[in-house]
Structures are given as C-alpha cells and as structure tokens.
Amino acid sequence: MVSTANNWRFRPAYAMVNGGPDLAPNSAPASNAGSECGDIEFTREYVEALLNERPKRKDRFSLKEKCDSLTEYIKRLKPVIRWFQELEGSYLLEHEKLQNSLQVSELQRSEMDLLLKNKEEELNSIIAELRKNYASLQEKFTKEELDKMAAMDSLTRERDAKLEIERSKFSLSDELERVQRDLTSAKQQNSSLSDMYKRQQEYIANLQHYNSKLQTDLSTVEEDRKRVETEKASMVENLGMYRGQLEVSRQCQDDAVKQRDALANEVAQLRMELQQVRDDCDRHQLQVQTLTAEFTQYKESTEKSYYEWGDLTSKNDELEARCLSQSDQIKTLKDQLMTAEKKLQMSDLSTMERRTEYEGQKKQISELRTRLADAEFKLIEGEMLRKKLHNENLELKGNIRVFCRVRPFLAEDGSNTEGKVISYPTSMDALGRGIDLVQSGQKHSFKFDRVFVPDVSQEDVFEDISQLVQSALDGYKVCIFAYGQTGSGKTYTMMGKPGDPEQKGLIPRTLEQIFKTRQFVQPQGWKYEMQVSMLEIYNETIRDLLATNRSSSDMLRTENGTAGKQYTIKHDANGNSHVSDLTIVDVRSANEVSFLLERAAHSRSVGKTQMNEQSSRSHFVFTLRIYGVNESTEQQVQGILNLIDLAGSERLSKSGSTGDRLRETQAINKSLSSLSDVIFALAKKEDHVPFRNSKLTYLLQPCLGGDSKTLMFVNIAPDSSSAGESLCSLRFAARVNACEIGVPRRQTYMRPSDSRLSYG
C-alpha cells in the first residue's frame, strides 16, 4: 500500500464522509465517489488539491455558508491527518521491522544499511515532509479552528443580529399589521366618511329641497292666509249684509205679525158684526114670520075692515121692505166677511212665507257663522304654520345673519366720489349678495346674506327684516345692530331722517309693524304688553336716555369723560340681563314710542370729529320687551327686540381724535373688539366667551349667547378715501357671517314677577 515518496498513494481505512466530487482527486476511482465508506486514494495531488481548495477568506459566502464549508473542509481534512498519522505509524512500524531484520541478518545489514539509510533518508525526508505537512496542516487546522471559532463567533453574532433582526422583523410585521389594520380601518373610515359625506350632501340637498318646499309652502300658506283673509273680510261683509237683511226681515215679520193681528182683530170684529147681522137677520126673519102669521090671521079672521086691512098691508109692506133691506145688509155683510176671510187667508199665507224666509235666513246666518269660525280657525292655523315655517326658514339660513348696506355718495364726499371703489358682481350666485371692493389696486370680494346697493329705499330694507321683527312678537330674542365707520349710514339705517316719512329708519318702522300686528292679531285672542327702555354706552359707562329727572352728574359728562351715575348690569337665573335703576316705560302705541325716541335723541351724546359733524360717539341700545298672552289658546310668549346703533368703528389714525375724542375712540374700539371677540368665541364654541370684557357685550349676553336671532348691518361708505375702513368693516362682517351661533329658542315661559328690568 505504501507508494514511493514522490508518488505515494494510500487508501485509508477511514471513510471519506460526503466527499464532494469537486474536492475528490481526479485519480480517485469514480465508483467510490460519494459512497459513505469509499476508499479514496490519497495522492500528493489530492492532498495538495485539498489544501488548495480550502475556502478562501475572501470568498463571498455568508458567514453561515463559510462556517458550513469550513466544517465540511475540516471534516475532510481529518481523514487526511489521520492518514498521515497512519502513514507515520506504518513507516515507524516498517522501520522497526527493518531494525529487527537488521538484527536477524547482519549480512543483510550492510546491504540493507545503504538501503535502509536510503530508505531512512527517504523515510526521514518523507517523515520530515509529512511532519512539515502535518505541521502545516496542524497550523492550518489551528488556523482553520481559529477561523472556525471566529466564524462561529461571527455566526453567533450574526445569529444574534439575525434574531434581533427577526425580532425587529416581528415587531415590524406587527407594526405593519397594525399599520395595515389602521390602513384598513382608515380605508373603512374613509369610505364611511365618504358615505357620510355623500349622505351629508344628500341631506343638504334634501334640506335645500325641504327649504325650497318650505318656501313654496310658506308662499302657499301666505297666499292661503291672504285668500282666507279676503274670504273672511267678504264673509264679515256678507254677515253684515245678512244681519241687515235679517233686521229688515225681522221688521217685516213684526209688521206682518202686527198686520196679521190687526187683520185677525178686524176679522173677529167682522165676525162679531156678521154674527150681530145674522142675529138681526134671524130676529127680523122671525119678526117677518110672526108678522106674516099675524097678517094671515088678521086676513082670515077679520077681512072686514078695509082700513084695518090697509094698515096691515102697509105694515106688511114696511116689514117686507125692512126684511129686504136686512137681507141686503146680510148679503153685504156676507160679502164683507168673505173679503175679510180672503184677506185673513192671504195674510196667513204671507206670514207663512215670511216665517219660511226668516227660517232660511236664520239657517244661512248659522251657516255663515260656522264658515266664519272655520275661516278663523284656518287663519289661526295658517298663522301658526307661518310662524313655524318662518322660524324653520330662519334657522336654515342661520341665526346670525349679515346684511351689507352701501350708502349713496354725498355732497360731503367731495372729490372722493371719483374712482369707483365698490362694485357688485352680477353672477347668478352672487347677485344681490356680493360686493367687490378695490383697495390699492387689489380687488376684494365678499358675500353676505344680502347686499343693499345705494339706491335701495328704507322701505325695501325694512321689508327684508320685517320677518325678524315678527319673530320678536312670536317670543324670540331678536338683536339687530348696525356696524360701520363713522358716517357710513348706521344711524340713517336704524333711525332714518327725522321728519321725512319716506326715510324713516328701521326702529320707527319696526314699531309701526309691531303695533299694527298687535292690532291685527287681537281678534285671534292675542293681547300684548310692551315696555321700552333706551340707553347709551359712552366711554364704557351706561346712561339712561329716558330718565326724566336725570341728575346733572348723569346728564353731563365729567371732565374725564365718565358719567356720574353708575348703572349696573346683572344677569338673573334665566339668563336675562337687568340694568339697575333703568327707566322702563309701558307703551301702547307707536306714537308713544316715537315721543320717547325723540326724548332719547335729545339726551344722546353727540360729539364732533373730523369725519362727521353729527357723529354719535356712543352705542345706542333700544330695547322693546314684548309680553303676549293668547286668551283663547292660553299661550304666552315673551320676546325681546334689541335695536342697536353702534358707535363709529374707525381707526384712531383716521379719526384724527385727540383728548376726550381720543379717549372716546379708544373706548369704542375696545367695546367693538370685545363684540368681535365674543362673536368669534361663540362661533368657535369656546368654553370661555369674554362677555364681561365690555359693557355692551355683557348687556347683550342673552341676545348674543346663542338662542337669539341676530342680524348685523355692515354699513359702507362708497368714497375712495373710506376704502381702507370699508375693507376692515367688510372683513369683520365676513367673519361674523361665517359664524354659526346656537339655535334660536322661543320664550314661552310665564311672565317673571319683575320683568320690567329684564333685557333678554
């Protein structure tokens, strides 16, 4: 089995475990390749090839693969090492044998010495070579072991890292799952949101449809109401006519009854007379018969005396004549009786006719009464429906609404009229609602619930708010205020021009409507009581404008601009505002209120600024408290109407104020900015609404707090020098218009014991 040193071949007893065909020496018999205990020939080339085929560090295997291939390689090295050990053993054995044979044959020794020496040398060189190989293999093995250890280490590290990665993979996949779940739920949410959006859109469309239906219903009801009213008026007229007819027929009937009675009396008298005549006639006939009998007796018995006969004949003639005349009389009386009976029959007939006519009229009247009651009921129903529809309509429109009014150019505007800064879009959606303002060459567009162009009359403006006024009578809190810079037309809008009925403002028109409606609903059982109060807030101080005995300190502004008397605002448990010591006046007619308005106008503090000679530097608050009871339905309502002419909103720089005027402007700005803060806080549904930041907002808290119907007029001056202020006003108004404040609530509770001081 031992080959020469240069070409040694050895078939070890050991099996080559999983000897890969690529590592097997080319000379190895093909039949043994891959067999578990195959006898591989370990040639020099095989070992060298094996050594050369050690996996290189540089090979781009993964650590695990490297480790596996190293393990594999070591496994394959082990038999080679064992083979070397075996080979060494066999050489040593052979050496020993040779030594022994050296001893056996001395002869052979010398021969063999050389051979042995050669062999020994050869063996030694082989051994040395093998040792060298062994050492190098050992070294390689150690190195490989170290590599293996390092590879194992790095494998462990890699495993740890892999574990870590696996863990993070798990957590990532968890996360991924969660994210996917989130994504699914987000998708679901998204789809449900889009469903909801669709539903909302549908709902909005339905609402719009419903709104238009309500509008149609409202107009139908309005038409019905008008028709019913016309019907009622014609019925009332008919009723009056029928009543007149009834009166006439009653009189006719009385006359007929009287006539009938007279005729009956006449008939009775005639009957009596007839009876008398009949009695007379009978008596006369009896007399005639007696006389005829006497005459016959006399004629038969005596016939002697011619004279007696003559007497008797004349007596008889006399009696016959009397008899004839009585017969005539009887005939006449009978004729009279016949006529009287005919007359009686006729009068009975006419009485019967009158009675039937009377019954018919009575029936007609009762029918008319039922129809009238029906019409009144329908009217009440229609009125109730109108109120409901009106309120639903207002709720759909939102309970804080903004109307914009642009005043016409005035002579005072002078050259500022040049360069038109305001225009009105004519597109379908903005018609009557849009306004464009050009400032510094830039166009700003705004849209409100309504925009009144300069030539819109006071009457037309009032037309648009009259329904809101009606709401106050229906028991709602209503607040209308005018906002805008000085001279923009706030006072003109609210009060109008005194002395010109055409230019009456909202306040007098409102009062006229309220008192007219009060009159109109009276037949439906409504009775209203009204109370008026008027105050102004000047430099954050309240002043009673209706106080008759105002103290000098109350009347006059002190030097620092504050009034002497302090009116304190309080809110009761029902959320109503009360101002201590404020004058409240019961009013029964629009004239009474006009008188009070004039009184208040005198008391108003009017200052002068550069901008407007008659500029009002205070907020004017007019309050009408309405308390209504319906005696037939026992319904009770309590409405409040606040009409407010705010002080001018101009900026300090523009007002050019100094001293007292500067203080006024600062106070005005403070309260107006408080008003805007309150409105925006309400719109954002913030927990804290800063009502207390100014007297104005604190006083109007119940009317701004959500359950009232609020309308803001933003007044705009058209001149180019006011463009900056106009832009500020329009911006503020646009923000207010974007607000939604609560739902208006109708006040139908019982009248409070002291309602006189309540504001809302």
Ligand X SMILES: Nc1ncnc2c1ncn2[C@@H]1O[C@H](COP(=O)(O)OP(=O)(O)OP(=O)(O)O)[C@@H](O)[C@H]1O
**Shortest approach of ligand X to residue 610 CB, angstroms?**
11
The residue among 260 and 490 lying less far from ligand X, judged by its C-beta, is 490
Q: In sequence order, what DSSP letters do the residues of 538-561 get, joined into one string? A: ETTEEEESS-TT--HHHHS--TTS
The residue among 641 and 646 lying less far from ligand X, judged by its C-beta, is 646
Binding mask 493-512 for ligand X (x = CB under 6 A): ----x---------------
The residue among 474 and 536 lying less far from ligand X, judged by its C-beta, is 536
Residue 490 lies near ligand X (rule: CB under 6 A): yes
**Shortest approach of ligand X to residue 492 CB, angstroms?**
3
Q: Output the six-digit token pair for 18.
A: 């999983």
Q: Please give the residues from 400 up to 419 whose contact with ligand X meets the rule CB under 6 A.
A: 407-408, 410
The residue among 240 and 454 lying less far from ligand X, judged by its C-beta, is 454
Residue 391 lies near ligand X (rule: CB under 6 A): no
**Shortest approach of ligand X to residue 701 CB, angstroms?**
24
The residue among 169 and 497 lying less far from ligand X, judged by its C-beta, is 497
Residue 715 lies near ligand X (rule: CB under 6 A): yes
Give a three-class secondary structure readout of 555-594: HCCCCCCCCCCCCCEEECCCCCEEECCCCCEEECCHHHHH
What type of residue sits at position 242? Y
**Shortest approach of ligand X to residue 545 CB, angstroms?**
15
Is 491 part of any known ligand binding site? yes
Is 490 part of any known ligand binding site? yes
Strands of the 422-423 sheet, one edge to the other = 422-423, 434-439, 442-447
Q: Please give the residues from 96 up to 115 whose contact with ligand X meets the rule CB under 6 A.
A: none
Q: How many residues bind ligand X (CB under 6 A)?
A: 19
Residue 19 lies near ligand X (rule: CB under 6 A): no
The residue among 533 and 618 lying less far from ligand X, judged by its C-beta, is 618
**Shortest approach of ligand X to residue 580 CB, angstroms?**
28
The residue among 390 and 407 lying less far from ligand X, judged by its C-beta, is 407
The residue among 474 and 719 lying less far from ligand X, judged by its C-beta, is 719
**Shortest approach of ligand X to residue 234 CB, angstroms?**
41
Query: Cα 329 from chain centroid?
Result: 101
Of 46, 492, 526, 713, the residue at the interface with ligand X (CB under 6 A) is 492
Which DSSP helix (H) or strand (E) runs through 481?
Answer: strand 477-484
* Helix axis angle, 106-301 to 44-52, nearest 10°: 40
Of 488, 671, 708, 720, the residue at the interface with ligand X (CB under 6 A) is 488
Residue 539 lies near ligand X (rule: CB under 6 A): no
Using the rule CB under 6 A, give the single segment among 104-112, 487-495, 522-530, 630-638 that binds ligand X. Answer: 487-495
- Distances in whole angstroms, Cα of residue 703 to Cα of each of 86, 157, 237, 480, 740: 114, 76, 44, 10, 14
Residue 612 lies near ligand X (rule: CB under 6 A): yes
Which DSSP helix (H) or strand (E) runs through 446?
Answer: strand 442-447
Of 475, 484, 508, 702, the residue at the interface with ligand X (CB under 6 A) is 484
The residue among 471 and 616 lying less far from ligand X, judged by its C-beta, is 616
Name the residue whose CB lies closest to ligand X: 489
Is 485 part of any known ligand binding site? yes
Of 55, 79, 475, 489, the residue at the interface with ligand X (CB under 6 A) is 489
Using the rule CB under 6 A, give the single segment among 377-385, 436-444, 526-534, 609-617 that binds ligand X. Answer: 609-617
Q: Please give the residues from 278 up to 307 whose contact with ligand X meets the rule CB under 6 A.
A: none
Tally DSSP H helices, then E strands, for the chain: 14, 14
Is 753 part of any known ligand binding site? no
Closest CA to 565 of 545, 593, 585: 545
Residue 491 lies near ligand X (rule: CB under 6 A): yes
Burial class (CB in 10 A: 0-12, 13-18, 19+), 306: exposed
**Shortest approach of ligand X to residue 616 CB, angstroms?**
4
Angstrom distance (rounded) from CA 644 to CA 654: 23
Angstrom distance (rounded) from CA 722 to CA 726: 6
**Shortest approach of ligand X to residue 714 CB, angstroms?**
11
Is 488 part of any known ligand binding site? yes
639 Cβ contact list (under 8 Å, min separation 6): 471, 472, 473, 474, 475, 476, 477, 478, 625, 626, 628, 747
Is 487 part of any known ligand binding site? yes
Residue 648 lies near ligand X (rule: CB under 6 A): yes
Angstrom distance (rounded) from CA 664 to CA 655: 11
Residue with tokens 């240069």: 6
Residue 720 lies near ligand X (rule: CB under 6 A): no
**Using an 8 Å Cβ cutoff, are 504 and 458 in contact?**
yes
Angstrom distance (rounded) from CA 646 to CA 482: 6
Q: How long, in residues, is the chain?
A: 760
**Shortest approach of ligand X to residue 386 CB, angstroms?**
30
Of 615, 618, 623, 674, the residue at the interface with ligand X (CB under 6 A) is 615
- Distances in whole angstroms, Cα of residue 636 to Cα of each of 42, 337, 474, 628, 752: 122, 72, 9, 6, 12
The residue among 42 and 452 lying less far from ligand X, judged by its C-beta, is 452
**Using an 8 Å Cβ cutoff, are 38 and 111 in contact?**
no
**Shortest approach of ligand X to residue 194 CB, angstroms?**
48
Angstrom distance (rounded) from CA 120 to CA 99: 11
Sign of CA dihedral 597, 603, 608, 609: negative
Residue 242 lies near ligand X (rule: CB under 6 A): no
Contact residues for ligand X (CB under 6 A)? 407-408, 410, 484, 486-492, 497, 612, 614-616, 647-648, 715
Query: Which residues make up each annotated binding site?
Result: 484-491
Query: Which residues make up each annotated binding site for ATP?
Result: 484-491
